[in-house]
Structure 1
Amino acid sequence: MQTVIPIGKSEHVPTALRPLIVALAEVGAELARTIQRGPLGGALGQEVGTNLGGDGQKALDIMADAAFAARLKLASVRWYASEEQDEVIELDPAGRYALAIDPLDGSSNIDVNVSIGTIFSVFEAKDGADESVLRPATEQIAGGYIIYGPQTMLVVTFGDGTQEYLLDPDSREWLLINPAVRVPDTSREFAINASNYRHWPQPIRAYIDDCIAGEEGPRAQNFNMRWVASLVAETHRILTRGGVFLYPGDAREGYAMGRLRMVYECAPIAFVMEQAGGGATDGHDRIMGKTAETLHARTPFVFGSPEKVARVAAYFDLPEQEVSALFGARGLFRV
């Protein structure tokens, strides 16, 4: 194990941001305990409503949102932008920061004991609520996630590399275990929901076709497909062993821009990924170069090992006949 340093004393966490990060970590530890109790803690996966984006809200979604809002009010957070809130709300008029958050990502997996998480993004607050969070992703001063799985971990960046902290189940302290996470360059894994194949744009179909073709195809190697339906779980796997994640826009009604939200899902994950040496795009353009127009705006999302992300983008640049052709015609992408 690497040097174990409590998060509240870590020199890798900027001093000014330490109270906010510690607050996130404290709520994360409380949620981890609740999640570990499962049904003993109540009907956490019970449907209790629908958020503005049209997604069903589970009991744990609402519990997590309330817990983060209450604690962050005491950590100099002025503006709080949550997936579970219709609009940005003010917590502390004197607060220095604006925080965007998906309090409980992957909540459809609550009842099946699959890893779920929390995703967050931090900006310096401005006077206006919307202007504090609807801004270029490059203006983030922190971004990261907490994953609640066999191990509870906090992964965060402040723009100078990506760090990883582990919640010690004995001491209940968050300990630094990796101050410089790096995305592996090589992996033969891709993550996508293949049931939507018929709805995807042609470049995405072509990319996946070439992966599935295996050793006999233009990639000349076999690939494995993964799909957890939890953005945090997918991200953590890719940070650990490489690969690529794809959630494209598609032809279904309401899916033209995919289903993932720019402000509190894609922007912080892109920040983490780039700071770990990976890449993140909307299929062709860099996520960190984008600005959301509304709090719950969606974007297609591709991230992972940089060569794989760049390869996906290259498929969007091919002539239509190339991406519509059988995989054997795409000699440009051999190996």
Structure 2
Amino acid sequence: MKPTALSRYLIEAQHQGHINADLRLLLEVVARACKTISSAVGKGALGDVLGDAGSGNVQGEAQKKLDVLSNEILLEANEWGGHLAGLASEEMEHAHAIPSSYPRGNYLLLFDPLDGSSNIDVNVSVGTIFSVLRCPDGVTEPRDEHFLQPGSAQVCAGYTVYGPSTILVLTFGRGTHMFTLDREQGSFILTRSDVQVPEDTREFAINMSNQRFWQAPMQAYIRDLLAGKTGPRGKDFNMRWIASMVSEVHRILTRGGIFMYPTDNKDPSKAGRLRLMYEANPMGFILEQAGGACSTGRGRMLDVMPEGLHQRIPVFLGSRNEVAEAERYHLNHDHGSA
């Protein structure tokens, strides 16, 4: 059978009534931008893209050169196509309006242009995460508040992981699918359709250096995982940690696992480390569509009503039964039964 390119896959989805023409064209534009970012990542030091940019983003974090470049690539590629009413980026404080000289569409695009960028200089996989929402009816000049929709309202979500191969993972609510970039042809080719995450796992991913800051239910949950076969869980677990959410989630999609960044007391002003709109919601949507689960530790993440464009949230993603187990520890503690 002839390999299916992303463009053909999207056209067929449109013919089947699963997406409309505007969403198809929007996804093709995002995919082209990701190919450009992939090329820049692949050049590394040869392209003078390593190291700090000498600037900070809205969260006060130091930006890498590739953070800035990736953000510019996605903005430039998407603002003139006529498919969007507005954009929002993790790297910018407020939503970005479509210039008045360009046509406008009915979608809102949110993105983390380069997730895991702290790994750039040591040649570890990084990625791009994106989410698509509908612009509210009657809104012609979308502002920050118009992006504040729950994850369950997402029309589409995806990520690209720039690793030994460049892989685009995509869902528009009808399963989760993987496309691998054929560098010779310059096209994303469907390589896995209807990905399914195993319901059970013996693998977890968490930043153990923060353990001393965790809340009591999280301490108890990890303690029981580490107890292994002789502990209450009755089996041994392996731990993984890459410090790139895209890479962590991609591993889970490939072979199962649970990824966690819980609430801690390290910085009381932050409810969690990861951003709801740019990271947690799109990854949660992707994993749910692959048979996995997403939670804040105390409920379904995609049901959370956002309060701010850069809101942070505790995150539990991955194999359905293990996410439920982590959630059980938190809920039992809250109810005084732990």
Normalized against structure 2, the TM-score is what?
A: 0.91
The question of whether the paired residues in 2 share the 8 Å contact of 1:114 and 1:149 is answered with yes
> 1:315 and 2:329 equivalent?
yes
What are the within-5 Å matches in structure 2 for residues 189-200 of structure 1? 189-200=203-214
Quote the Cα distance in structure 1 between the aligned partners of 2:189 and 2:321.
Answer: 32
The question of whether the paired residues in 2 share the 8 Å contact of 1:115 and 1:230 is answered with yes
Q: What is the Cα deviation at residue 92 of structure 1?
A: 4.9
Identify the residue that residue 98 of structure 1 maps to in structure 2: 108
Q: What is the Cα deviation at residue 3 of structure 1?
A: 5.9
Quote the Cα distance in structure 2 between the aligned partners of 1:53 and 1:254.
Answer: 15
**Aligned AA for 1:88?**
A
Q: What is the Cα deviation at residue 208 of structure 1?
A: 0.7
Quote the Cα distance in structure 2 between the aligned partners of 1:176 and 1:73.
Answer: 27
Structure 1 stretch 52-61 or stretch 90-99: which is displaced more? Answer: 90-99
Q: What is the Cα deviation at residue 27 of structure 1?
A: 1.0
Match of 1:173 among 187, 190, 200: 187
SS of the equivalent of 1:70 reads: helix
Match of 1:154 among 151, 168, 171: 168
Quote the Cα distance in structure 2 between the aligned partners of 1:255 and 1:190.
Answer: 26
Identify the residue that residue 117 of structure 2 maps to in structure 1: 107
Quote the Cα distance in structure 1 between the aligned partners of 2:202 and 2:87.
Answer: 39
Quote the Cα distance in structure 2 between the aligned partners of 1:6 and 1:298.
Answer: 36
> 1:121 and 2:131 equivalent?
yes
Q: What is the Cα deviation at residue 48 of structure 1?
A: 2.2
**Aligned AA for 1:248?**
P
Identify the residue that residue 6 of structure 2 maps to in structure 1: 7
The question of whether the paired residues in 2 share the 8 Å contact of 1:161 and 1:180 is answered with yes
Quote the Cα distance in structure 2 between the aligned partners of 1:198 and 1:186.
Answer: 27
What are the within-5 Å matches in structure 2 for residues 272-311 of structure 1? 272-311=286-325
The question of whether the paired residues in 1 share the 8 Å contact of 2:52 and 2:62 is answered with no
Q: What is the Cα deviation at residue 322 of structure 1?
A: 6.4
**Aligned AA for 2:153?**
E
Identify the residue that residue 251 of structure 1 maps to in structure 2: 265
1:60-105 deviations in Å (ceiling 9; x for gaps): 1110011101111133122110011110011255222110100000
Identify the residue that residue 201 of structure 1 maps to in structure 2: 215
Q: What is the Cα deviation at residue 225 of structure 1?
A: 0.4
> 1:44 and 2:50 equivalent?
yes
Q: What is the Cα deviation at residue 47 of structure 1?
A: 3.8
**Aligned AA for 2:89?**
S
> 1:77 and 2:84 equivalent?
yes
Percent identical across equivalent pairs? 42
SS of the equivalent of 1:167 reads: strand
SS of the equivalent of 1:318 reads: helix
Match of 1:59 among 58, 65, 70: 65
1:222-257 deviations in Å (ceiling 9; x for gaps): 111011110100000001100101100101125641
Quote the Cα distance in structure 2 between the aligned partners of 1:3 and 1:283.
Answer: 44
Q: What is the Cα deviation at residue 125 of structure 1?
A: 1.7
Identify the residue that residue 330 of structure 1 maps to in structure 2: none
The structure 1 segments of at least 4 consecutive aligned residues displaced by more than 3 Å after TM superposition are 319-323
Quote the Cα distance in structure 2 between the aligned partners of 1:254 and 1:84.
Answer: 22
Q: What is the Cα deviation at residue 293 of structure 1?
A: 0.8
The question of whether the paired residues in 1 share the 8 Å contact of 2:40 and 2:49 is answered with no
Normalized against structure 1, the TM-score is what?
A: 0.92
Unaligned runs of 5+ in 2: none
The question of whether the paired residues in 1 share the 8 Å contact of 2:53 and 2:68 is answered with no
Alpha carbons of structure 1 residues 124 and 319: separation in structure 2 relative to 1, 3 Å: closer
Quote the Cα distance in structure 2 between the aligned partners of 1:132 and 1:147.
Answer: 28
**Aligned AA for 2:51?**
G
Identify the residue that residue 328 of structure 1 maps to in structure 2: none
Identify the residue that residue 87 of structure 1 maps to in structure 2: 94
Unaligned runs of 5+ in 1: 324-335
> 1:25 and 2:25 equivalent?
no
Quote the Cα distance in structure 1 between the aligned partners of 2:132 and 2:227.
Answer: 42
Alpha carbons of structure 1 residues 216 and 175: separation in structure 2 relative to 1, 3 Å: same
Quote the Cα distance in structure 2 between the aligned partners of 1:205 and 1:279.
Answer: 21
The question of whether the paired residues in 1 share the 8 Å contact of 2:200 and 2:320 is answered with no
Quote the Cα distance in structure 1 between the aligned partners of 2:211 and 2:53.
Answer: 29
Alpha carbons of structure 1 residues 167 and 319: separation in structure 2 relative to 1, 3 Å: closer
**Aligned AA for 1:109?**
N
What are the within-5 Å matches in structure 2 for residues 202-217 of structure 1? 202-217=216-231
Quote the Cα distance in structure 2 between the aligned partners of 1:305 and 1:136.
Answer: 22
SS of the equivalent of 2:109 reads: strand
Quote the Cα distance in structure 1 between the aligned partners of 2:84 and 2:333.
Answer: 48
Quote the Cα distance in structure 2 between the aligned partners of 1:288 and 1:118.
Answer: 20
The question of whether the paired residues in 2 share the 8 Å contact of 1:267 and 1:288 is answered with yes
**Aligned AA for 1:188?**
R
Structure 1 stretch 16-25 or stretch 237-246: which is displaced more? Answer: 16-25
1:194-245 deviations in Å (ceiling 9; x for gaps): 0111100111111111111111111111111011110100000001100101
